Amino acid sequence: MRCTSRIKEHLASYRHAIRGIVMAFRYEHSMTFHFAAAAAVVVVNSLLKVNQTEWLITLMLIGLAWTAEVFNTAIEKLADRISKEQDPLIGQAKDLASAAVLIICLFSVLCAIIIYFPYLSKKI
Ligand SMILES: Nc1ncnc2c1ncn2[C@@H]1O[C@H](COP(=O)(O)OP(=O)(O)OP(=O)(O)O)[C@@H](O)[C@H]1O
Residue 54 marked as a ligand binder: no
76 is in an annotated binding site: yes
User: Which residues span the domain enclosing 69?
Assistant: 3-123
Q: Which CATH number do you get for residue 101?
A: 1.10.287.3610
Would the CA dihedral through 108, 110, 115, 120 be positive or negative?
positive
Distance set, CA 107 to CA 19, 33, 100 (Å): 29, 17, 11
How high is the ipTM of this complex? 0.91
Catalytic residues: 69
Q: For 57-107, what is each residue's pLDDT tens digit?
A: 999 999 999 999 999 999 999 999 999 999 999 999 999 999 999 999 999
Structural domains in the chain (count): 1
Confidence of residue 1 (pLDDT cuts 50, 70, 90): low
pTM of the model: 0.89
Which residue's CA is the nearest one to ligand 1's atom 4?
A: 91
Report the separation in Å between the CA atom of 95 and the middle of ligand 1, taken as the mean of its atom positions.
7
Report whether 66 contacts 25 (CB < 8 A).
Answer: no
Amino acid residing at 18 = I
Smallest CA separation from ligand 1 atom 1, residue: 86
